[in-house]
Amino acid sequence: MDARRRDGPRQTGRVPTDDAPAAPPAAATATPAPDAPATTAALDGEHPLVRRSLEVLGQLLTGAGGSSSTAGGFVEAHLGQPHTSLVLERVALTHTRSVSVGAVVADLLAAHPSAVLGPVEDGEAPTWTRIDLDGDHVSVPTSAAVAFPAGTAADVDVVVQLSRSEFDPDPASLRVLARPADHAAARALVDEVLATARRDKGFFRGRVLHAGARLPLELQPTSLGPGGREDLVLPAAVWAEVDAATSALTTRADVLREMGLGTNRGVLLAGPPGVGKSALSRVVAREMAGAFTVVVVDAAAASSVLRQVYRETADLGPCVVVLEDVDLYLGDRRAGARGTALADFLAVLDGTEVYTDVLTLASTNDPAALDAAVTRSARFDSTITLAPPDRAASARILDRYLGRLPAADAGDDGEQRPRVDTAAVAAALPAGATGADLREVVRRAVLDHGRDLTTERLLRVVADGRWKAEPLTGTYL
Ligand SMILES: Nc1ncnc2c1ncn2[C@@H]1O[C@H](COP(=O)(O)OP(=O)(O)OP(=O)(O)O)[C@@H](O)[C@H]1O
Ligand SMILES: [Mg+2]
């Protein structure tokens, strides 16, 4: 990660070249740039905005055209021809790819001191974006132009531009500008940058990422917090189903690929609110992170960026995509559901777009509300239904939550006893109480009594019904 901790990239302006011939003279139409080496040196160390203000002021006072302050002027100054007579090789970038491509361009800039950084938007300073990676960070140019003299990034003079697109579904683009005779070299540079980015700059691979809801899509590294299987009380059959689904991407992936059966899997977790669907997704995601990249997509994000999320997976290696509460945005055509989310979903899961090595873990309260095409085999090839725990399981869940409570004094037989008879508390709860309800019972009791919990105190909370969210009564104006 050579691009890390880059401070103060070189700003617009010709700097003395040391590893390449001087850039060609400015085009006949362009006035000489006022930012001569002496000016540049005088502004060294100033804040970019101060530099830019002084540059513009200098241009006004000298009557110079300010060629290198506009994106077009910067390109013309370095390639010596009007912008419109150059060739431009362009490629759209997903968010993941824009970060890795930015890191490659940053490395090229660092390796060639004669390269010059400039604007890609008129009047905008080149922009570097910092991405936090578990305490470490990488800073990459996201909106910038870099003029590379011949013999540096390529054999010929080129200007490399990176830009973010606010209104495009493609989050970013990489462009290389060159003189028409150098078109092949520009194309080769694009290929080389993309290949290096893919090979050496997979910053997001193996991480847990959160998909933002706004277009263009941005993936933010995030954390799932602690917790493993031991924290969740679920029937053995549920874990067996989960293991069968994940093995498609772990132990059995090679066989499936050889047989042309595809390695994509979809698992739908169904069940009423609070039975642990999201908690189970998190446990699976935690287990698979590292070898797999995990992308968590909440309902708000999925309704707008689902297709973009699956496109990102091409650069992320084997992935687990966690889709929360799919019924909120997928719906059923028979019930009048319309919109792009359903169409996107059908396209990306075993539809017109083909992705490999993606496990989709989706959850819903209401599988019956989903379109038949959503649940057909090869989209979700297994549905795991989670039910509220029975009494024995409820007692075990209470044991988990009360696990850190100190034992009561030893009884007559010398045995240490737990302070709380969890079986008795579980028996007092109404049928259908979920894991989330049990957690709330313990939480309420802790709010009232701190660590000093007893069977009676928990039974009182259960009897009072204060663990349930009660609808407000009375008149509120
Ligand atoms: N079987 C269980 N074992 C242990 N804890 C559980 C269990 N089920 C639920 N919980 C607890 O309840 C919390 C809420 O559960 P979770 O958010 O996973 O429910 P959900 O099924 O996703 O609900 P929703 O449909 O409302 O999204 C969990 O974080 C966990 O602490
Ligand atoms: Mg949930």
Q: Give the pLDDT confidence of 221-263 residue by residue, as tens digits.
A: 998 888 899 999 999 999 999 998 888 777 777 776 777 666 6
What is the overall mean pLDDT for the chain?
A: 82
Q: Residues 53, 195: one domain?
A: yes
User: Which of 239, 275, 365 to probe ligand 1 with, by most ligand atoms within 8 A of CB?
Assistant: 275
User: Which of 325, 361, 434 to probe ligand 1 with, by most ligand atoms within 8 A of CB?
Assistant: 434
pLDDT of residue 127: 93
211, β-bridge pairs? 219
Q: What's the CATH number where 416 sits?
A: 1.10.8
Is the model's pLDDT at 404 over the cut of 90? no
Q: How far is the CA of 335 from the centre of ligand 2 (A)?
A: 23
**Which bound ligand lies closest to the C-alpha atom of 393?**
1
Residue 58 CA neighbour count, 13 Å, CB half: 21
Q: Residues 170, 307: one domain?
A: no
Is the model's pLDDT at 21 over the cut of 50? no
Cα–Cα distance measured from residue 282 to residue 259, given in angstroms and rounded to the nearest whole number: 31
Q: How many domains does the chain have?
A: 3
Residue predicted with more confidence, 204 or 42: 204
Domain assignment of residue 143, yes or no: yes
pLDDT of residue 15: 36
pLDDT of residue 247: 81
pLDDT of residue 271: 95
3-state DSSP helix/strand/coil percent for the chain, to nearest 5?
Answer: 40, 15, 45
Q: Residues 221, 299: one domain?
A: yes
Q: What DSSP character marks residue 218? A: -
Q: What does 356-381 look like in DSSP terms, one character per residue?
A: -SEEEEEEES-GGGS-HHHHSTTTS-
Strand bridging mode 293-297 / 319-323: parallel
Q: How far is the CA of 365 from the centre of ligand 1 (A)?
A: 12
Is the model's pLDDT at 290 over the cut of 60? yes
At residue 410 the predicted structure's pLDDT band, cuts being 50, 70 and 90, is low
pLDDT of residue 55: 59
User: Are the beta carbons of 410 and 437 closer than 8 angstroms?
Assistant: no
Cα–Cα distance measured from residue 347 to residue 379, given in angstroms and rounded to the nearest whole number: 10
Domain assignment of residue 16, yes or no: no
Q: How far is the CA of 324 from the centre of ligand 2 (A)?
A: 6
Nearest-CA residue for ligand 1 atom 25 is: 273
Q: Interior CA angle at 221 toward 219 and 224, to 5°? A: 120
Q: How far is the CA of 278 from the centre of ligand 2 (A)?
A: 4
Domain assignment of residue 30, yes or no: no
Is the model's pLDDT at 415 over the cut of 70? no
pLDDT of residue 417: 58
Question: Which of 167-181, 199-213, 433-447 has the least mean pLDDT?
Answer: 167-181
What 3-state DSSP class applies to 192? Answer: helix
Q: Residues 251, 334: one domain?
A: yes
Domain assignment of residue 222, yes or no: yes
**Which bound ligand lies closest to the C-alpha atom of 387?**
1
Domain assignment of residue 323, yes or no: yes
pLDDT of residue 69: 75
Q: Please confirm whether the linkage preceding 418 is cis (ω < 30° from 0).
A: no
Q: How far is the CA of 382 from the centre of ligand 1 (A)?
A: 20
Q: What DSSP character marks residue 21? A: P
Asked which of 158, 173, 200 is the last residue of a domain, the reply is 200
Residue predicted with more confidence, 247 or 148: 148
Is the model's pLDDT at 353 over the cut of 80? no
Asked which of 152, 170, 200 is the last residue of a domain, the reply is 200
Average pLDDT in the 151-161 region? 97
Cα–Cα distance measured from residue 142 to residue 466, given in angstroms and rounded to the nearest whole number: 52
Place of tokens 């997928």: 330
Report residues whose beta carbon is within 6 angstroms of any ligand 1 atom: 232-234, 271, 273-279, 363, 365, 389, 397, 400, 434-436, 439
Is the model's pLDDT at 288 over the cut of 70? yes
Is the model's pLDDT at 460 over the cut of 70? yes
pLDDT of residue 12: 46
Nearest alpha-carbon partner for 71 in 166, 204, 177: 177
Cα–Cα distance measured from residue 3 to residue 447, given in angstroms and rounded to the nearest whole number: 48
Asked which of 385, 409, 426 is the last residue of a domain, the reply is 385
Q: pLDDT tens for residues 123-134? A: 889 999 999 888
Domain assignment of residue 4, yes or no: no
Alpha helices by DSSP H, 222-360: 236-247, 253-258, 277-288, 299-312, 340-348
Sequence letter at residue 352: T
pLDDT of residue 8: 40
Q: Residues 420, 373: one domain?
A: no
Q: How far is the CA of 195 from the centre of ligand 2 (A)?
A: 39
Q: Residues 245, 302: one domain?
A: yes
What is the token pair recorded at 161? 């531009």
Q: Residues 215, 354: one domain?
A: yes
Average pLDDT in the 24-32 region? 36
Is the model's pLDDT at 472 over the cut of 80? no
pLDDT of residue 352: 67
Q: Exposure pattern of 44-69 as b/e (b: 16+ CB <10 Å)? A: eeeebeebbeebeebbeeeebbbbbb
Domain assignment of residue 141, yes or no: yes
Domain assignment of residue 13, yes or no: no
Question: Which of 28-32, 96-100, 296-300 has the least mean pLDDT?
Answer: 28-32
At residue 272 the predicted structure's pLDDT band, cuts being 50, 70 and 90, is very high
Q: Give the residue numbers spanning the domain of 86.
A: 37-200
What is the token pair recorded at 354? 């083909």
Q: pLDDT tens for residues 86-115? A: 999 999 999 999 999 999 999 999 999 999
